[in-house]
Structure 1
């Protein structure tokens, strides 16, 4: 997959000459609703012998429109994960447009000229609620008027699960509630975060549960505080594990939040290694124990519950 970074205004020479089916959206999470758009684009690409291209933005438009601090934005998929998901879905060209104030000022006509016609789109695919400016004048119903017959348009209707719209907001709410199975059904894959193993306080080893302390990528939406059954990718191999998102409240107050994974049946030094953590099942909330012994007893039960989850 070819990745092209665009800053407005861009040089036309940077755009591939290939005619494309262009999919429009922000695609946070690249969930089942987004996947429906890409599948439609792939069908059209085969019919028309065109490449499949996707245009997304970085950062989220609300950073510009609502003046949100970019460091406070939390995404279901960082750019690196979004890129890998797009490639796995068969996208051939990914345009990553830097969402700036100058880009935000484009009129609907300018957007169509520069970012549909300019990207050599013969056909576009977008969701029913896609906008490219003020929603009263830059919605999907108005797009044919701006197109003037120069490209085809496929508008994908609302995608649902259990009669409710599949959306990034719904997935975030599920993650915040610890409803991992629902979030993963909406995503179409297990919610995954990336990071690197860093040194912690090594307390888990003294408890008989040595953990990998994960410094996760910045800007990631973290599931609710608690203990989980997870999978962790280390050196291209997936392992089962139990993970804690929390503040280690049993030992002291006002600690920073940590993400720690106890990898089942694993005994290797992996400090400094890049890892991916796939969140599978919420086991319990974080508990403040009266001492070490009750904590160890609970950790043993967590391991039993984790193994039982993966066994079933």
Structure 2
């Protein structure tokens, strides 16, 4: 998969991505959830049928973050590197990563079509029903189709409904805020996933009989609600069931700290320091809380571990 990074104003010599025609899916695609995969999948399918390149155009950082419409968008369900890995798994040939800044935000809908899509040799574009583009988001799918005709065909995908509502990134974020990783998994079509590197922590887990891998995420991921989870840790070429705490360790820290991700892997006794791992979240077990003593905490961790093992055994 080829990746082309674009800044505005564009170097038109770098825009083409080759001379072949392209079928492109356009959107931010945070999460690459079931609805996004429907849009991207159609682009891949139509490109293959026509002998064209399948492409995705995405934007970085999140438009709402740049335009000051929501500080929560500093974190993502799929930070850029994770999103690119997801695109590659979907069979995409080419990705345009457009840097979203105020200059690009001021681009008119007409210029977006004339100076970007036409110059990229786009022959078909696939967008979602709620896609917007151009200055102040004035461009709609209907306007895109009018501006692009007749040389560029536009397909608009309707909303995907699941569990009584529209599949959306905001709905997945809301589920994670509640710790409902099961709902997030249904909307994503896969477990919620965080990749990172194992770093040295306080070393306390080993002293109380539950050694943990302290995972530093490799991107600004949305973290689920603070608490304890049943997870799968992909490490050292294998998948290990585990119990994970996402939290600030209030039993040991009065003044709080940045949330940490610490996983106790069942059946693994090696050294993972410095290695890259991936976490799949399966079930929320309980909220994080402060215990009256270390012994109370150890007893609860034992119960959490047993619950996690039982839940994960059922899902195998």
The TM-score range, normalised by the shorter chain, is over 0.9
Report what 1:175 is aligned to.
176
CA distance in 1, matches of 2:272, 2:304: 23
Report what 1:12 is aligned to.
12
CA distance in 2, matches of 1:165, 1:45: 27
CA distance in 2, matches of 1:176, 1:69: 15
CA distance in 2, matches of 1:252, 1:137: 49
1:13-92 aligned within 5 A = 13-14=13-14, 15-16=16-17, 17-66=19-68, 73-92=74-93
Secondary structure (helix, strand or coil) at the match of 1:261 reads strand
CA distance in 1, matches of 2:133, 2:123: 18
CA distance in 1, matches of 2:138, 2:221: 33
Offset at residue 170 of structure 1 (A): 0.1
Offset at residue 102 of structure 1 (A): 1.4
Task: Answer yes or no: is the 8 Å Cα contact 2:42–2:126 preserved in 1.
Answer: yes
Task: Answer yes or no: is the 8 Å Cα contact 1:25–1:55 preserved in 2.
Answer: yes
Q: Give unpaired runs (5+ residues) of structure 1.
A: none
Please report the TM-score for the alignment, with normalisation by the length of structure 2: 0.94
Secondary structure (helix, strand or coil) at the match of 2:262 reads strand
1:85-104 aligned within 5 A = 85-104=86-105
Match of 1:289 among 288, 291, 297: 291
Task: Answer yes or no: is the 8 Å Cα contact 1:128–1:140 preserved in 2.
Answer: yes
Task: Answer yes or no: is the 8 Å Cα contact 2:105–2:136 preserved in 1.
Answer: no
CA distance in 2, matches of 1:229, 1:24: 35
Report what 1:275 is aligned to.
277
Task: Answer yes or no: is the 8 Å Cα contact 1:21–1:121 preserved in 2.
Answer: yes
CA offsets per residue over residues 193-238 of structure 1, 9 Å max, x none? Answer: 1211111111111110011111123421000000001111213322
Please report the TM-score for the alignment, with normalisation by the length of structure 1: 0.95
CA distance in 2, matches of 1:66, 1:136: 14
1:1-312 aligned within 5 A = 1-14=1-14, 15-16=16-17, 17-66=19-68, 73-134=74-135, 137-256=138-257, 257-312=259-314
CA distance in 2, matches of 1:56, 1:63: 15
Offset at residue 69 of structure 1 (A): 6.5
- Which is worse superposed, 13-22 or 172-181? 13-22
Task: Answer yes or no: is the 8 Å Cα contact 2:105–2:135 preserved in 1.
Answer: no
Q: Give unpaired runs (5+ residues) of structure 2.
A: none
Secondary structure (helix, strand or coil) at the match of 1:287 reads coil
CA distance in 2, matches of 1:292, 1:64: 44
CA distance in 2, matches of 1:272, 1:77: 22
- Which is worse superposed, 219-228 or 129-138? 129-138
Task: Answer yes or no: is the 8 Å Cα contact 2:107–2:135 preserved in 1.
Answer: no
**Which aligned runs of 4 or more in structure 1 are off by greater than 3 angstroms?**
67-70, 134-137
Offset at residue 81 of structure 1 (A): 0.7
CA distance in 2, matches of 1:261, 1:146: 52
